[in-house]
Structure 1
């Protein structure tokens, strides 16, 4: 996967996609599989924002049943199964413990009815070739068993628990990248750090304008180019309305941006996830992940620039209060937080838009209190040509990680219609880049035998991150004479990541900054600071590949380690 904006500016594309998160990545993968010539542009690194800032769940959305969103739940459950099939190394079953209290709305009868409907809507959940991926139906356990599973549960009125199943991603940022790599393998072109700054347009026949391309600034060099396409797809996630505004000063759709933070702590729940209700902060999940526990997420309206997103010390303190209220026996403290991260959910704002001279019925005070928690996670594919006379532009807005593949399918269907072409979607039955294997456990065992010169945990880690492509990664160690021994070493004694992963990320996966490798190619930093020595070794390997001088090397290390600190927020927090 090579980055070449000059070559892209000299190519005519069927589809130019703005945004390298999972929506843009899935759209590129789908379109390329259907034979379209595709370009993908991302202003930062691939999967740098919402895509990597998720709870790492692929789930049906049990709580959406309360809102009566049966169609969204069914769509999500179907897509959950598809992700298990096409990304077997990335998506795995996860049991959830749902405590029951009393005999009312939170009791076993009501929750049992809801979970029975959830299982009914996922009637196809076990249409899978790998038996290890199959999901059992829900079951009820006693109060004693519930406390055995999670001793910190609130005990007052506890009547037991329900256990149901959803799925979890090992590394959402890698799964997104694999969709992009799959698209590139089919002929697509992609570039990160390529910021779209405007649209190229021409007068359309009859009325309005036609978008014919995008103006792009190369954030690595400062150069500007134009990339042209017959259809442009806005898949910019939290920036989607800002991207729309480049074509029309009054965006056709508004977004509610919902900030969600997560904290990572020690293992507190074993193999089971836990769904908890807090009286002071809504529901949250306790999720086992790589031997640690993710707790998340918050859900608050975020009205600042999405580029300014971060986690403040107050964010963590406030969320710990919610967690300790929901799990009073846990008593988590700030020093128990190993790592933290944040993401923004881009939700479609369905409140009436103000029209001059027309009363909408929404007061200014109400407008300030957008509800992100109860806002729908449904997506929308918006054709600007049909409603605004801005032809050639499609926006994909809203949605959730789980349903991103299906959203992309709808986008490509519309794009093909505009292009006067026809081709069936294949992403529901095509393995992602690295997903071509029968049974994951069997593949891991065979890979460990094939690479017996490497430690078993190193090989398992490679399979987790690269799936069936691990031999291609390891082959990078043999590309230059004398590198093999060095590149097959661990970066740290307690770390399963080896040097070749860093070099492969630079040579094959478009990693341009140290944080690209640490957070989105290898996962070195996604579970907390891996240590100064580990980051230093990764930086040295990148420096040799990219020709960094001492100043650049020091800056890259500083900018990466800064990601492990909370952002300054004292003044803003004091004002609130």
Structure 2
């Protein structure tokens, strides 16, 4: 029996989608779509969103987990993009301090690198200037000895020194989800596993969509005065529903990451790849290292993008070159994932394509959002809703408030001291360990009690999901009741990061699936199907029902 705790209760309200005519229908539950939904709802528009998978199940949960100014874009003289990104980084630190945290980066400079110390120093100065000198800390150039002291496992041959600067790490999937939660709190409707199969027209205008519920198989209509295509890599598929003559808007590139045992001592590393002179990262990630990313053109089905052996070999090769003693080999790859960047179609190599966004308006009135960086999603959303607010059909003078109002759970006034105080309070009140308390604040922010209150009804929910990890069973129940978890992968891959840990195999999947089965009324056959689907999504070879490790 699931109890209503008086919280938000994010529900799949399909009946609401079919019974109202909305001002805006957003297609796509990635970060741009969820950001647009929140902005529109806060301005008083009746807004709805449908997503063919789970929220953030595409590229928005397969990023480098960084909110960053885009240091490498300085080489392309994309100064406007870097300025905008630095400003948005500050904003996200303010409205989501539980999900976005400062992170020191070290750039080791080697004799053979195309970017020498002078180039790096000049870039650092310009980076601080574009951040209006309001970064967490200003950059500093460091000596050879300081580099060794900070990261003693770096390859020493040819090392000449380095630079330290700051960007931010984030929980990409939960940041996307909290935009949905904030939007629904403001009156919006959002449904996952709801796929648009065609657009509805009123004369020449797009007036809604025919949607298929991928859980029940039934179709329904959603009517809206304005339809927004924020479907990321699937953008061209939706625009063709509006006009078969539309030229492709996108030129997607694939980015692959791997998770390996921890390889650094606290700094993220920005490294120049020797093979193609691209920059890539080695980032501290929950006790592990996140290594990535690649950047290659992709012309296949967006639903089938996966890391290739060549992608993984590239990351291992370049990572081991600068961290020769690290556990950077195929045997120690804990997880891998691939996402597609929905970049605007233009000539050039993958790394040369602009990360700026473009808003297209089709003859049908369909608005399509192409390109953009995760970091600048809030600004993209503001531009889209501003455009609608300036139009004759839905003119509005209500200003954008998304840069001022905290995201759902983001109301920490002084993040460092508030988090310490709340952690101590959570430990005392709920009898949880300090690691679990800290984990809850990083995941749920000021809403942590909403999750922990489940323990008061069922003491068994205090138990950890797996030994050595901070997650507890109460999060499973909360995910179903409040965060629209409807599959095993929703919970393991996007409501938590268990899928990116060593606890990502069948044992953990089985335990979580058995609890989800209780809340979602799965029979044994469906429970096993959920486990197998998750393991296949994680690229585990399945043999007789057992993953390879």
Do the two structures share a fold, i.e. TM-score over 0.5? yes
| CA contact 2:294–2:311 (8 Å) conserved in 1 | no
Check 1:304–1:566 CA distance in 2 against 1; reply closer, same or farther (3 A cut): farther
**1:508 partnered with 2:517:** no
Report the alpha carbon displacement of residue 253 of structure 1 after superposing the two structures with TM. 4.5
The CA deviation string for residues 176-227 of structure 1, in whole angstroms up to 9 with x for no partner, is: 0001000000000000000011110122xxxxx1110011000001111110
Check 1:211–1:528 CA distance in 2 against 1; reply closer, same or farther (3 A cut): farther
| Partner residue in 2 for 1:463 | 441
| Partner residue in 1 for 2:45 | 36
**1:227 partnered with 2:219:** no
How many residue pairs were aligned? 527
Written as runs of structure 1 = structure 2, the 5 A alignment for 1:312-331 is 312-328=308-324, 330=326
| Partner residue in 1 for 2:303 | 307
The TM-score, its normalising length taken from structure 1, stands at 0.88
**1:178 partnered with 2:178:** yes
Check 1:499–1:330 CA distance in 2 against 1; reply closer, same or farther (3 A cut): closer
The TM-score, its normalising length taken from structure 2, stands at 0.92
Check 1:105–1:552 CA distance in 2 against 1; reply closer, same or farther (3 A cut): closer
- Answer with 558-567 or 272-281: which moved more: 558-567
| CA contact 1:490–1:496 (8 Å) conserved in 2 | yes
Secondary structure, in 3 states, of the residue corresponding to 2:352?
A: coil
Secondary structure, in 3 states, of the residue corresponding to 1:119?
A: helix
Report the alpha carbon displacement of residue 450 of structure 1 after superposing the two structures with TM. 2.7
**1:383 partnered with 2:361:** yes
- Answer with 425-434 or 333-342: which moved more: 333-342
* Alpha-carbon distance between aligned partners in 1 of 2:446 and 2:460, rounded to the nearest angstrom: 23
Which runs of no fewer than 5 residues in structure 1 stay unpaired?
127-134, 204-208, 352-369, 569-576
| Partner residue in 2 for 1:426 | 401
**1:293 partnered with 2:289:** yes
* Alpha-carbon distance between aligned partners in 1 of 2:380 and 2:414, rounded to the nearest angstrom: 28
Which runs of no fewer than 5 residues in structure 2 stay unpaired?
1-9, 543-549
Report the alpha carbon displacement of residue 345 of structure 1 after superposing the two structures with TM. 0.7
* Alpha-carbon distance between aligned partners in 1 of 2:166 and 2:245, rounded to the nearest angstrom: 43
| Partner residue in 2 for 1:405 | 378
| CA contact 2:98–2:410 (8 Å) conserved in 1 | yes
Report the alpha carbon displacement of residue 4 of structure 1 after superposing the two structures with TM. 1.7
| Partner residue in 1 for 2:25 | 16
| Partner residue in 2 for 1:129 | none
The CA deviation string for residues 385-428 of structure 1, in whole angstroms up to 9 with x for no partner, is: xxxx222x111110010001100000011122231222211011
* Alpha-carbon distance between aligned partners in 2 of 1:186 and 1:434, rounded to the nearest angstrom: 14
Check 1:178–1:137 CA distance in 2 against 1; reply closer, same or farther (3 A cut): same
- Answer with 48-57 or 152-161: which moved more: 152-161
Written as runs of structure 1 = structure 2, the 5 A alignment for 1:53-452 is 53-102=62-111, 106-123=115-132, 125=134, 135-169=136-170, 171-203=171-203, 209-281=204-276, 282-328=278-324, 330=326, 332-351=328-347, 371-384=349-362, 389-391=363-365, 393-418=366-391, 419-451=394-426, 452=428
| CA contact 1:94–1:167 (8 Å) conserved in 2 | yes
* Alpha-carbon distance between aligned partners in 2 of 1:151 and 1:438, rounded to the nearest angstrom: 36
* Alpha-carbon distance between aligned partners in 2 of 1:58 and 1:394, rounded to the nearest angstrom: 26
RMSD between aligned residues: 1.9
Report the alpha carbon displacement of residue 528 of structure 1 after superposing the two structures with TM. 4.0
| Partner residue in 2 for 1:474 | 452
| CA contact 1:311–1:567 (8 Å) conserved in 2 | no
| CA contact 1:6–1:225 (8 Å) conserved in 2 | no
Secondary structure, in 3 states, of the residue corresponding to 1:120?
A: helix
| CA contact 1:241–1:255 (8 Å) conserved in 2 | yes
Report the alpha carbon displacement of residue 471 of structure 1 after superposing the two structures with TM. 0.9
* Alpha-carbon distance between aligned partners in 2 of 1:564 and 1:396, rounded to the nearest angstrom: 29
The CA deviation string for residues 454-487 of structure 1, in whole angstroms up to 9 with x for no partner, is: 2111111111111110111222345xxxx42111
